[in-house]
Amino acid sequence: MHGPTPPGPRPTRRALLRGAAGGGLALTGLAAAPGAHAAAWAPGARATGAKVRDLTGPSQTGRFGAPWTDLGIPARCPDGSMLLVCGDTFDGEGVGGPDWRSPVGLRSSHADPAALTVDGCVGGGRAVGLVPEGHEGGTTAIPSDVFTVGSTMYMHLMRGVIYRTHHSDFWRSDDNGETWQYLCQWPGDQYGGQFQQKTYAVADDGYCYVLSTVFNRDITSGLLLHRVRQDALGNPAAYEPWGYAGGAWAWGNPPTTVTAARRWGEICFRAMDGGYALSWLNMAPLDLRAQFFPLPTSNLFTTPEQTTIVPTVPGRETGNAVASPYGGFIVPGSTAGDLHLAVSQWYDAQNYRVMQYRIHGLTR
């Protein structure tokens, strides 16, 4: 549960979870390579799109004890179904209700984006927390990514009071997300905090490529790139940074930001269409954006940024305009020409959900 600040009074639970962001954070690796400049983006440039359906809500997921949840990071399971891994989840009458869990797993037996409907959950009849998390002192476990390599699923979590990440940890499942085994963790202050929020693109060259940022929307962060062999995902020492040093970009250099530093929301990095796609919540101005590029090491400073979701106010939602949007996780099976996103929304205690949006008009 970590959407943009909604209009009007915030729910008490939100104030508890968000906590104080604290003072400024000294960041490393923000210096761009010579000649780099802000990514090409025309203000107001936007694709067209429309809501496909609500994926969560009292009618969709209430029978699984998860009427109020967000994120819904979609990953195709080894058995061909789809798992949506959600963040802070509540039962009862709204956000802050009883039985706070995070993360939880909701299932769609159909993985086709055209037929994505929650018809099951991890835990049988009631969605259970996927990993131990007691929420003592307001801590939580926010998923930043879930993905599949062969017959194994992986999940990355950010731990601590929200926006004050103490550490992030990594888990694997060999039974389609039913049970999870701990692999490793990273300290929250690694690379000045810019290794807190991670997202993984599974490539066909034996590597996963990893983009990362600070998990705090009030702090400007770079976007760092690492690679790790798919057979070493649970070994922190195997993550190799990409950086600019000595007049050149190279693997093994200290990590430097691969695009303009900014305030980032959620990020989602995927191999797609023979290349790569990055979707993210952009905080200033508030919108969801995407970039498409041929290589993990492509120049994102000059790759055009394309708007996928624009903000609006409740009651004026139409097309790809969404009130209080965040998330923007790419649904497996998407293409640049037919992009499906899991978009979260939160502006009051009864408007907290995951929705599916379909976007057209994007260019590679």
What is the Cα 31 distance to its own chain's centre? Answer: 25
Name the residue range of residue 223's domain: 46-53+151-358
16 belongs to a structural domain = no
Better pLDDT: 3 or 131:
131
Amino acid (1-letter code) at residue 102: S
With residue 32 as reference, give the H or E element that holds it.
none
For residue 19, being part of any structural domain is answered with: no
Let me know: does 352 contact 70? Beta carbons within 8 Å: yes
- Structurally, how many domains does the chain consist of? 1
Residue 219 confidence (pLDDT) above 60: yes
On whether residue 342 sits in a domain, the answer given is yes
Domain for residue 174, yes or no?
A: yes
Give the span between the Cα atoms of 149 and 135, in whole angstroms. Answer: 30
CA dihedral 12, 14, 16, 20 (to 10 degrees): -130
| pLDDT value of position 121 | 98
- Interatomic CA distance for residues 250 and 33, integer angstroms: 12
At residue 188, the pLDDT reads 98
**Distances 208 to 162, 194, 266, 332 between C-alpha atoms, Å:** 27, 18, 19, 16
Strand 321-323's sheet: what is its strand order?
A: 264-272, 275-283, 286-293, 306-312, 321-323
% pLDDT > 70, the chain: 87
Instruction: Give the count of beta carbons closer than 10 Å to the beta carbon of residue 53.
Output: 12
User: What Rg value do the Cα atoms of the chain yield, rounded?
Assistant: 19
Contact between 328 and 309 under an 8 Å Cβ cutoff? The reply is: yes
Q: What is the pLDDT of residues 155-192, one digit of tens each?
A: 999 999 999 999 999 999 999 999 999 999 999 999 99
Check pLDDT > 60 for residue 5.
no
How far is CA 333 from each of CA 19, 152, 269, 319, rounded to the nearest angstrom? Answer: 37, 19, 14, 21
Tens digit of pLDDT for each residue in 11-32? 333 433 333 223 333 343 444 4
Q: What is the pLDDT of residue 26?
A: 35
CB 119 within 8 A of CB 109: yes
Long-range contacts of 247-256 (CB under 8 A, 24+ apart): 249/33, 249/297, 251/227, 254/28, 254/29, 255/28, 255/29, 255/191, 255/194, 255/224, 255/225, 255/226, 256/29, 256/30, 256/31, 256/32, 256/33, 256/222, 256/224
- Joined tokens for residue 293: 């590029």
What the block records as the tokens of 237 is 């020492």
Handedness of CA 286, 2, 105, 198 (dihedral sign): positive
pLDDT at position 47 is 87
Question: What confidence score (pLDDT) does residue 45 get?
Answer: 52
Asked if residues 110 and 76 have their Cβ atoms less than 8 Å apart, the reply is: no
Alpha-carbon distance 356 to 342, whole Å? 5
Structure tokens at 305: 């940024």
CATH number of the domain enclosing 294: 2.115.10.20
Backbone φ and ψ for 269, nearest 5 degrees, come out as -115, 125
pTM of the model: 0.92
pLDDT band, residue 41 (cuts 50/70/90): low
Cis peptide before 296 (omega within 30 of 0): no
Do the domain assignments include residue 97? no
Return d(Cα 78, Cα 299) in angstroms, integer. Answer: 33
Q: Give the separation between CA 224 and CA 228, rounded to whole angstroms.
A: 13
How many CB atoms lie under 10 A from the CB of residue 76? 17
How far are the Cα atoms of 9, 58, 271, 350 from residue 317, in angstroms, in the given order? Answer: 21, 20, 31, 17
Q: Is residue 248 part of a domain?
A: yes
Answer yes or no: is 344 within a domain.
yes
Q: Is residue 277 part of a domain?
A: yes
**CB 237: neighbour CB atoms within 10 A?**
8
Q: Provide the token pair at 223.
A: 């976007």
Structure tokens of 303?
């790759």
